[in-house]
Copies of this chain bind each other. A is one copy, B any other.
Amino acid sequence: MKLLIVNPNISTSVTELIEAEARRSASPGTALTLRTAPFGVAYIETRAEAAIGAYATLVELAEHHAGHDAAVIAAFGDPGLAAAREMLPIPVVGLTESALMSAAQLGGRIGIVAISRRIRAWYRETVDACGMHSRLASIRCLDEPLADIGSVQRDKGEQLVALCRAAVREDGADVLIIAGAPLAGLARQVAERIPVPIVDGVSCAVRQAELLAGLAPRRASEGSYAAPPTKACQGLPPALARLVGREGHDNENEEGNS
């Protein structure tokens, strides 16, 4: 099994955190390709940054997905996920969605712990878009600017543990998600200090990607996740243009899309 993992932001230090946790999580036979967004911002916490990251992710997925069995969009908030799912012939998962769907099978109400106040609105909208609003206990967050996104686990570990405990005791969380690629791996380290199951976006996404690839679902040729219908395009990177503009090939499902 081969997975393509794309970090939607430009921080290679974050890509390294993602890779480390992904390698710890992946099954023995799974090969991983890691990619970092070629353009964008250092990390994503707003809708504007997510829109930029979504496009960068689509460009990267289009260029590199060939030969992989599934893909992972490795930012909590899942920038470009639904778009990629339409475009690509392989399953695509995102950190938020995979963590939610995994956590939902470990308890009732789900708490999310995040790295900044600003990021909460985007996360909440992502949860809502998954239809999981009624499962959300709360989104708690660190409340001070981060000195360094790469060392947030070390700098803020105790505060994150305190947030987890508060989510259980005050918000009624039955299970927790440590959110955000910069926190990849933290769940594993603090699990014994938290009184409920705790999961991590990267490990859930890698495993759910393996699971979906294992189910070997056929690609949709009808419905709203079929490949976009053929149409003219301009100014797109060639690999993306081939997927979205579909210049003549892969047209067996045109009738279905009409």
* CB-contact partner of A231 in B42, B80, B191, under 8 A: B42
A208 on interface, CB distance cutoff 8 Å? yes
Residues of B within 8 A of A197 (CB): 215, 217-220
Among the stretches A152-160, A165-173, A178-186, the one at the interface with B is: A165-173
Contact at B41–A51, with CB atoms within 8 Å?
Answer: no
Residues of B within 8 A of A244 (CB): 41, 48-49, 52
Question: What string of 1s and 0s marks CB contacts (under 8 Å) between A219-258 and chain B?
Answer: 1111111101101111110001001110000000110111
Residues of B within 8 A of A54 (CB): 51, 54-55
A208–B87 Cα distance when bound, in Å, is 26
Contact at A236–B121, with CB atoms within 8 Å?
Answer: no
Query: In chain A between 27 and 58, which residues have their CB closer than 8 angstroms to a CB of chain B?
Result: 27, 38-43, 45-52, 54-56, 58
A101–B125 Cα distance when bound, in Å, is 19
A84 on interface, CB distance cutoff 8 Å? yes
A207 on interface, CB distance cutoff 8 Å? yes
Of chain B, the residue at the smallest CB distance from A62 is B48
Residue from the set A82, A128, A173, A236 with the largest chain B CB neighbour count within 10 Å? A82
A30 to chain B, nearest CB (A): 12
Contact at A224–B118, with CB atoms within 8 Å?
Answer: yes
Of chain B, the residue at the smallest CB distance from A133 is B131
Known: A84-B48, A197-B220, A245-B41. A106 touches B212 (CB 8 A): yes
Residues of A bordering B, CB below 8 Å: 10, 27, 38-43, 45-52, 54-56, 58, 80, 82-87, 91, 93, 97-98, 101-102, 104-109, 116-118, 120-122, 125, 128-135, 143-145, 168-169, 172-175, 191-192, 194-199, 203-204, 207-208, 211-212, 214-215, 217-226, 228-229, 231-236, 240, 243-245, 253-254, 256-258
Complex A-B: 9 CB contacts under 8 Å: A46-B229, A47-B82, A47-B85, A101-B104, A106-B212, A131-B134, A173-B223, A191-B218, A195-B223
